[in-house]
Amino acid sequence: MSFVENTPSIILASQSPRRCELLSLLGLPFTRFVTRIDEQRQPGETPLDYVLRLSREKARAAAQKCDQPGIVLAADTIVVDGDDVLEKPASEGEAWTMLTQLRSRSHVVYTAIAVLNQLGELDTEIAQSRVPMRDYSDEEIADYIASGDPFDKAGGYGIQNADFHPAGGFSHCFANVMGLPLCHLTRLLRQSGIEPPADVPAACQSHLVYSCPVYKGILRGED
């Protein structure tokens, strides 16, 4: 299916405004259907297993509860520092702890994407990006926390925040760290016979004002 009018609607199982923003760049019709699952990490579960499970469970939960026909897309993003999975901070203190922990060091962001097609077939992709954080000051942390931006973001930061700009020397998939790696998603949609009408790498880079060094390899099927 290469034409939008012949393409099944995508049902985005997410309430994230950033995922809506990024998904719109593909030029495909989509609607949102938000459902909730238990996101507690299970004992002994690795970060990769954890993020993949959450994306799959979100897709299945949305498919079960939504009566609209279409392809269900779900995603989950985690920030991993060593053995720690950093969730969204619940308080200023938690945000401060996370941001000081990540400062001047590199960590990894994983996003798992799950697509459940109309035949009930579930396919997944996972993107992994190493994020080097700059040596921001305590004053910058305090100002950023006061802005309220950290509290709906895993790890307590938004890489796209122009005032805080937490990362330095980043050279991977920017959209992944925002929550929806579009070239990985394009690979996944192609498995369901859907070709986005937009030039996805060009649209993504223009929107994010970022020259991506990895999109060609990702679209070729490299990790």
Q: Which domains does the chain have, with CATH numbers?
A: 4-219 (3.90.950.10)
- What pLDDT shows up at residue 2? 41
pLDDT-flagged residues of the chain (< 50): 1-3
Residue 217 in tokens: 């390899």
- What pLDDT shows up at residue 148? 97
Alpha helices in 26-137 (DSSP H): 47-65, 92-102
- What pLDDT shows up at residue 5? 55
Residue 76: active-site member: yes
**Per annotation, catalytic residue among 38, 49, 76, 81:** 76
Please, is 223 exposed, middle or buried when counting C-beta atoms within 10 Å of its C-beta (0-12, 13-18, 19+)? exposed
Please, is 97 exposed, middle or buried when counting C-beta atoms within 10 Å of its C-beta (0-12, 13-18, 19+)? middle
Nearest to 14 by CA among 74, 83, 61, 98: 74
Report the distance separating Cα 188 and Cα 186, nearest Å: 5
Pair 98, 89: CB distance under 8 Å: yes
Report the distance separating Cα 10 and Cα 104, nearest Å: 39
- What pLDDT shows up at residue 34? 87
Alpha helices in the chain (DSSP H): 17-23, 47-65, 92-102, 138-147, 174-178, 182-191, 200-208, 215-219
- What pLDDT shows up at residue 222? 85
- What pLDDT shows up at residue 111? 98
The distance from CA 136 to its chain's CA centroid, rounded to whole angstroms, is: 24
Q: Please state the pTM of the whole predicted model.
A: 0.93
Percent composition of the chain: helix, strand, coil (DSSP 3-state, to 5): 40, 20, 40
Report the distance separating Cα 156 and Cα 118, nearest Å: 36
Report the distance separating Cα 64 and Cα 70, nearest Å: 12
Pair 72, 11: CB distance under 8 Å: yes
- Residue in the structure block whose two tokens are 């992944």: 176
